């Protein structure tokens, strides 16, 4: 089957301004020539999803080739604020109302397991990527008020996911933020997304994987023996299986319209600004518009939110100065008047889904083409989930929860309406 490469993946300006991750160029692995022999797996995309897939699949002995039109981690990954959580953008209580408590709980438990598995994988690989365990504090807002948070906590505990409800005074005392009700959860982490991506790619390269950039896939054809990818240079890469891990430059011929794009904004203070609150907790709101905050290992405070529902890059980037001021003011209120002075400010394209969960699975009507699209918040978490699900399928051991994250699940589930746009990336 012939596929037009221009439609296979999008071509977007994924980010503007300047993000705080300064290791982009310093840690880049060297580009390698495209493999001449057929490989087991070709991965289109060298962001955090493609990197985790390359690491996981190369560890099983498969021959892996990674292709990207940009240097590794230079797309949306470099704009990520990398709060690694298991709570989805759509609250559990609202997802349960649509697909049932058991089905909703099953999805959330599987996402949490992907977080814990990633933590163990990073430890095993000894990656220096700023991976640190943190508490998550989910504050009230216009999506879930205090009563809604109580119900959300009850729903989580009923499906085996522990979140502690705390009233306004308890939140203020414990974390040093404004007095608001919230849910407190464990098993969440922070990370440097660029260092994580490059570390995963280096692990894959050490096992014989290749990574070629710039390598723009402009055409593809599939037959009984495999898939042939044609690069803009005219070079050919042949693979038995292809995984499209191209982030928000989505493979629109295969991805349902329910997966949408928008724009998000973030700022970061200078080093040694933190701590501005207690326990270095990761804070976000059940609100629209919303706010989220976290600290980094070098003492920056990262603040994000203020999403917009369009993807025009010029319009998005023109809003950075105003969004910077908006985020500084919102964070100052949350942190009881603390002075927030951003050193970095940036914008980014991001993706959403009706249930806040990713699109992972085989492309419809294709035997050798897979989608690994981390739409919704929790991009790092969803990268781990995609690596586990696809690796198991290729090993002949299908993950029993794979159906929960199928790109085509909305064709069988009851309609799931988006509750809010992206909360954190």
Q: Is residue 156 within 8 Å of residue 104, measured between CB atoms?
A: no
CA 396 to chain centre: 26
Helices (H), 302-351: 313-318, 320-334
pLDDT tens digit sequence for 66-92: 999 999 999 999 999 999 999 999 999
Q: In this prediction, what percent of the chain has a pLDDT beyond 70? A: 94
Residue in 362, 366, 377, 365 with CA at minimum distance from that of residue 407: 362
Please report which confidence band the pLDDT of residue 3 belongs to, taking 50, 70 and 90 as the band edges.
low
**Looking at residue 26, what is its pLDDT?**
64
Number of H helices, E strands in the chain: 10, 19
- 345: tokens are 């400010």
Per-residue confidence band for 424, with pLDDT thresholds at 50, 70 and 90: very low
What is the dihedral angle through the alpha carbons of 14, 16, 18, 24, rounded to the nearest 10 degrees? 30
The answer on pLDDT for 105 being more than 50 is: yes
Share of the chain above pLDDT 90, in %: 85
Q: What is the rounded distance in angstroms from the CA atom of residue 321 to the CA atom of residue 317?
A: 9
- As a whole number, mean pLDDT of residues 200-211 equals 97
pLDDT value at position 412? 64
> 155 φ, ψ to 5°?
-65, -40
The whole-chain average pLDDT of the chain stands at: 92
The CATH homologous superfamily of the domain defined by 134-188+259-352: D-Amino Acid Oxidase, subunit A, domain 2 (3.30.9.10)
Nearest to 307 by CA among 188, 382, 419, 194: 419
pLDDT at 411: 84
pLDDT in tens, 355-394: 999 999 999 989 999 999 999 879 999 999 999 999 999 9
Number of Cβ atoms within 10 Å of the Cβ of 380: 29
Domain 2-80+194-257+356-411: assigned CATH number: 3.50.50.60
| pLDDT at residue 28, rounded to an integer | 84
User: How high is the pLDDT of residue 423?
Assistant: 46
Domains of the chain: which residue ranges?
2-80+194-257+356-411, 134-188+259-352
Q: How far apart are CA 374 and CA 372, in angstroms?
A: 7
Per CATH, 2-80+194-257+356-411 and 134-188+259-352 having the same topology is answered: no
Query: pLDDT at residue 226 above 60?
Result: yes
Residue 420 has pLDDT above 60, yes or no: no
**How confident is residue 289, by pLDDT bands cut at 50, 70 and 90?**
confident
The pTM for the full model equals: 0.94
- The contacts of residue 8 (CB under 8 Å, 6+ apart) are 217, 220, 244, 251, 253
List, for residues 113-169, the tens digit of each pLDDT value: 999 999 999 999 999 999 999 999 999 999 999 999 999 999 999 999 999 999 999
Over range 221-226, report the average pLDDT: 88
Phi-psi region of 321 (alpha: psi -120 to 50; beta: other; left: phi over 0): alpha
pLDDT at 250: 80
């Amino acid at each position: 089957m012939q596929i037009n490469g221009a439609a296979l993946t999008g071509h977007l300006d994924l980010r503007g301004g300047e993000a705080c991750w300064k290791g982009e160029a310093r840690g880049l692995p060297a580009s390698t020539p495209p493999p001449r022999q057929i490989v087991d797996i070709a991965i289109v995309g060298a962001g955090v999803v493609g990197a985790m897939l390359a690491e996981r699949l190369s560890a099983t002995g498969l021959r892996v080739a990674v292709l990207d039109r940009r240097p590794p981690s230079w797309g949306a990954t470099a704009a990520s604020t990398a709060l690694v959580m298991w709570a989805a953008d759509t609250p559990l209580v609202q997802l349960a109302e649509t697909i049932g408590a058991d089905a909703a709980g099953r999805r959330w438990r599987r996402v949490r397991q992907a977080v814990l598995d990633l933590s163990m994988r990073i430890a095993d690989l000894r990656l220096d990527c700023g991976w640190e365990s943190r508490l998550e504090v989910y504050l009230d807002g216009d999506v879930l008020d205090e009563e809604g948070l109580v119900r959300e906590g009850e729903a989580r505990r009923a499906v085996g996911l522990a979140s502690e409800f705390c009233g306004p005074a308890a939140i203020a005392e414990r974390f040093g933020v404004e007095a608001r009700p919230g849910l407190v959860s464990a098993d969440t982490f922070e990370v440097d997304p660029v260092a994580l991506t490059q570390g995963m790619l280096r692990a894959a390269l050490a096992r014989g994987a290749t990574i070629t950039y710039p390598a723009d896939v402009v055409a593809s054809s599939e037959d009984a023996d495999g898939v042939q990818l044609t690069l803009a240079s005219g070079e050919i890469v042949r693979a038995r299986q292809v995984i499209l891990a191209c982030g928000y430059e989505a493979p629109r011929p295969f991805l349902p319209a329910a997966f949408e794009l928008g724009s998000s904004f973030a700022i970061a203070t200078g080093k040694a600004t933190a701590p501005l609150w207690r326990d270095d907790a990761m804070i976000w709101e059940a609100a629209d518009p919303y706010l989220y905050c976290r600290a980094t290992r070098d003492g920056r405070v990262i603040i994000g939110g203020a999403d917009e529902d369009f993807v025009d890059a010029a319009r998005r980037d023109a809003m950075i100065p105003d969004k910077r001021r908006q985020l500084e003011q919102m964070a100052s209120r949350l942190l009881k008047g603390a002075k927030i002075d951003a050193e970095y400010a940036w914008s980014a394209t991001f993706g959403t889904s009706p249930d806040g969960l990713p699109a992972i699975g085989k492309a419809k009507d294709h035997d050798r083409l897979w989608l690994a699209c981390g739409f919704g918040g929790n991009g790092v978490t969803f990268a781990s989930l995609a690596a586990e699900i696809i690796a198991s399928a290729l090993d002949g051991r299908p993950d029993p929860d794979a159906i929960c994250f199928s790109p085509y699940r909305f064709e069988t589930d009851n309609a799931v309406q988006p509750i809010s746009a992206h909360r954190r990336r």
